[in-house]
Structure 1
Amino acid sequence: MRNDITLIIMSAGESTRFRKNLGIKKHWIRIDSKPIWLYVADKLQFRYNFNRVLITAHKSEVKYMKKFCDYEIIEGGDSRKKSLQNALNFVTSDFVIVSDAARFNLDFDVLDMLISQKLDEFDCIIPTLNIVDTIFIEESGVKNYIDRDNVRLVQTPQISKVNILKQALSLGDFSDESSAINKIGGKILAIDGSNKLNKLTYFDDIKNCNIDSNGEILIGYGFDVHKFCTNKKLILGGVEIDCEFGLEAHSDGDVILHSLCDAILGAIGAGDIGEWFPVDDDRFNNIDSKVLLKEVIDFSRSVGFSVVNVDIMILAQIPKITPHKDKMISVMSAILGISRNYINIKATTMEKMGFIGREEGICVSSNVSLKYTL
């Protein structure tokens, strides 16, 4: 066990460049049915048995990521540097090895060499690659060619002395540990890296990678009920219904979309609508439930899942649902990004029985299926 080294996996980014295609964040693509942040952590921890494993996460993903593992999940910041600083606050070892989840194609020949160095003799140890192509810097239209023999590409993982790294990061914004430590004159050792360690940045980068592309199917069930009130408009399935009552709720009371949100969250194991949009949070007071559904579906896409189909059952004595079904389906089709024929709405009365039959409220249940797809 490496009691002197803590492993930090950087996985808190927005993946803006990668997400342009399907919306999935790159650290949520799967290898062996694991998101790559977990795949990398497991591989490294199994081989080296570090003192501790910390994984940075986007603030919206902290709770969700904790369901996947027993590693410590640390809320990241709005930059790589800030995320790393947050994680370093929990480090008690003398050294830290920092790896980007996006470098999931691990080369253990390089990593073994990295780990085997005399750590006390250097402030930072890094893998690097030579440049094989001609290179220039263009400034104001002038191309200044650089001697490629003096240029290196810097990769991760990198091992750093914790006290030196904390001091260096306080001096500015840096793209990696070595550039920060170099800024304060730290001693850096460069070893030969590997093309296998190239970072996943753009969607096209996955073409030659052995990753899971599709297949996993998830099923979710949602249920919601609201009672009638006289001081609100009635909104069902994102459609305003012309009648003299609405549904009592902190939001607009759209019982259909609430049920659908819960079904999607249930399928991916991300809690429930009450956890996401608490009734004691004024941000959601009278909020349009289409906004809530959009947030839920965006999250499900970011972690790799798209809705395949939806089946909704509405229990209501009043109002009449059938005249509004088509418009509801159109609204949901636009938000979910699926064809209308994959959305089904059924409605029935309660034959005057129970609170629904007494025209006191509406109850809705939803079933959804989602598929992991790249």
Structure 2
Amino acid sequence: MGFAAIVVAAGSGSRAGGDKQWRAVGDRPMVRWSVEALLAAGADSVIVVIAPGAETRAAEALAGLSGWQAVVGGATRAASVQAGLAVLEQPDDMPVLIHDAARPFLSATVIERLLDALNDAEGALPALPVADSLRRGVEGLVIGGVERDGLWRAQTPQAFRLKTICDAYAAWTDTEAPTDEAAVVERAGGRVRLVEGDARLMKLTYPEDFSMAEALLPKTFRTGQGFDVHRWGPGTSVWLCGVEIPHDQTLIGHSDADAGLHALTDAILGAIAEGDIGDHFPPTDPRWKGASSDRFLVYAAERVTARGGRIVNVDVTLICEQPKVKPHRQAMRERLAELLSLPLDAVSVKATTTEALGFTGRGEGLAAQAAVSVELPA
């Protein structure tokens, strides 16, 4: 069965810090989750109702998708829904799903239940039974309980035939704004059927809700490895893991030759399969002559964030006879934690020697290897 859909994304989202519909959940803006789900379920058209001036943000958030159009909404949710209904040109009996952009995890199963429910009712909404005990309170004190039998937590999308919802809004005469479309259809005498909702279809209202939403996303874990070598040359200090250490030599390289940061940068890029440090910062480019390797590491971390992921932990091993790393290890860990926005216990820096064997043992150069664990959306 074909259907149309309206996604209400015109609110200010002030309780979540503002503009929550454009905020990323995982690897995409929140509004995109709903639009993608509706289109994938077979929506003939999706109307995205936005605030005045948000046209560019909507275009950016929904870039690459077809079958949707943006409409400027009104001062209330009801006005925004009616603005969306006004542009629909489908037949009178076409089902319309009206959905809050703040509920990103919409499934095809819920959509199917709603459409089926319209076979013997004028409307349908997904709902969950109230499981917690309910209390009335005044000024922080309990003044009584509320019987929870027969109480349901209403969700969206809510489904109606196009003519049903349009006629119901036309008949609404109260000065008070309706809580949702089901209330409008009920007031007009329509029957609204409850269908099984989905606990994941929660509304993201407060800042902490976004953390919960991120935890619900399916995840995949990747590991990356990096290795780097630089030779010793004349100098008075050396940069290792973002910390300058006084020394009678320095490492030679196109940038600051921080082998620890280079190995770690390669490990991060490897975990997300985006090449290596030379692809992004070629040594032939004069812009990187003498550059601080902090920039390379932060760039790699930003690539993870752009994919909706996060770095879980990092481990760096420096392989050298000199300088002594242990006196500076804590400072290195703290610097890496700062650059990567990680807790200190997620950052490890170690050092070892090759027992005077090989080029590091002969004091010709220093090597570094790194490992990283990255969490990405599945």
Q: Does 1:195 align with 2:195?
A: no
Question: What is aligned with 1:152?
Answer: 83
Instruction: Spell out the pairing of 1:1-374 with structure 2 (5 A cutoff).
Output: 25=24, 28-29=27-28, 40=36, 100-101=61-62, 126=69, 133=76, 152-153=83-84, 191=89, 194-196=97-99, 198=101, 204=205, 212-213=216-217, 215-231=219-235, 233-372=237-376
How far apart, in 1, do the equivalents of 2:81 and 2:352 lie? 75
Residue identity opposite 1:362 in structure 2: L
Question: What is aligned with 1:65?
Answer: none
CA contact (8 A) 1:223 1:366 kept: yes
**Aligned-CA RMSD value:** 4.8
CA contact (8 A) 1:267 1:368 kept: yes
Instruction: Compute the displacement of 1:319 (Å).
Output: 1.3
Q: Structure 1's 282 and 151: CA in aligned 2 closer, same or farther, altered over 3 A?
A: farther
Q: Secondary structure at the match of 2:356?
A: coil
Q: Structure 1's 343 and 210: CA in aligned 2 closer, same or farther, altered over 3 A?
A: closer
Residue identity opposite 1:101 in structure 2: L
Q: Structure 1's 211 and 310: CA in aligned 2 closer, same or farther, altered over 3 A?
A: closer
Residue identity opposite 1:152 in structure 2: A
CA contact (8 A) 1:102 1:200 kept: no
Q: Secondary structure at the match of 1:363?
A: strand
Q: Secondary structure at the match of 1:152?
A: helix
Instruction: Compute the displacement of 1:152 (Å).
Output: 2.5
Q: Secondary structure at the match of 1:314?
A: strand
Task: Note the residue ranges of structure 1 that are not aligned, 5 or more in a row.
Answer: 1-16, 49-78, 85-97, 115-125, 136-147, 156-188
Q: Secondary structure at the match of 2:254?
A: coil
How far apart, in 2, do the equivalents of 1:149 and 1:241 lie? 61
Partner deviation per Cα, 1:149-199 (whole Å, 9 max, x = no partner): 9973599xxxxxxxxxxxxxxxxxxxxxxxxxxxxxxxxx75367534848
Instruction: Compute the displacement of 1:317 (Å).
Output: 1.6
Q: Structure 1's 312 and 18: CA in aligned 2 closer, same or farther, altered over 3 A?
A: farther
Partner deviation per Cα, 1:268-287 (whole Å, 9 max, x = no partner): 11211111111122221111
Q: Secondary structure at the match of 1:291?
A: helix
Q: Secondary structure at the match of 2:232?
A: strand
Instruction: Compute the displacement of 1:372 (Å).
Output: 3.5
CA contact (8 A) 2:102 2:205 kept: no
Q: Structure 1's 203 and 300: CA in aligned 2 closer, same or farther, altered over 3 A?
A: farther
How far apart, in 2, do the equivalents of 1:103 and 1:210 lie? 23
Instruction: Compute the displacement of 1:233 (Å).
Output: 3.7
Residue identity opposite 2:89 in structure 1: I
Instruction: Compute the displacement of 1:264 (Å).
Output: 0.8
Instruction: Compute the displacement of 1:311 (Å).
Output: 1.7
Alignment: residue pair count:
243
Q: Structure 1's 352 and 100: CA in aligned 2 closer, same or farther, altered over 3 A?
A: closer
Instruction: Compute the displacement of 1:341 (Å).
Output: 2.0
Q: Secondary structure at the match of 1:191?
A: coil
CA contact (8 A) 2:236 2:250 kept: yes
Task: Say which is worse superposed, 235-244 or 293-302, in terms of deviation.
Answer: 293-302
How far apart, in 2, do the equivalents of 1:211 and 1:190 lie? 36
Partner deviation per Cα, 1:116-153 (whole Å, 9 max, x = no partner): xxxxxxxxxx5758758389xxxxxxxxxxxx699735
How far apart, in 1, do the equivalents of 2:245 and 2:273 lie? 32
Q: Structure 1's 134 and 287: CA in aligned 2 closer, same or farther, altered over 3 A?
A: closer
Instruction: Compute the displacement of 1:291 (Å).
Output: 1.9
How far apart, in 1, do the equivalents of 2:320 and 2:233 lie? 15
Q: Secondary structure at the match of 1:300?
A: helix
Structure 2 length normalisation: TM-score?
0.51
Q: Percent identity?
A: 26
How far apart, in 1, do the equivalents of 2:295 and 2:19 lie? 21
Structure 1 length normalisation: TM-score?
0.52
CA contact (8 A) 1:129 1:154 kept: no
Residue identity opposite 1:370 in structure 2: V
Q: Structure 1's 255 and 218: CA in aligned 2 closer, same or farther, altered over 3 A?
A: same
Partner deviation per Cα, 1:221-272 (whole Å, 9 max, x = no partner): 1111111121574100111111121111111110001101111111111211
Partner deviation per Cα, 1:292-348 (whole Å, 9 max, x = no partner): 211211221222222221222211021111111111011011112222222222211
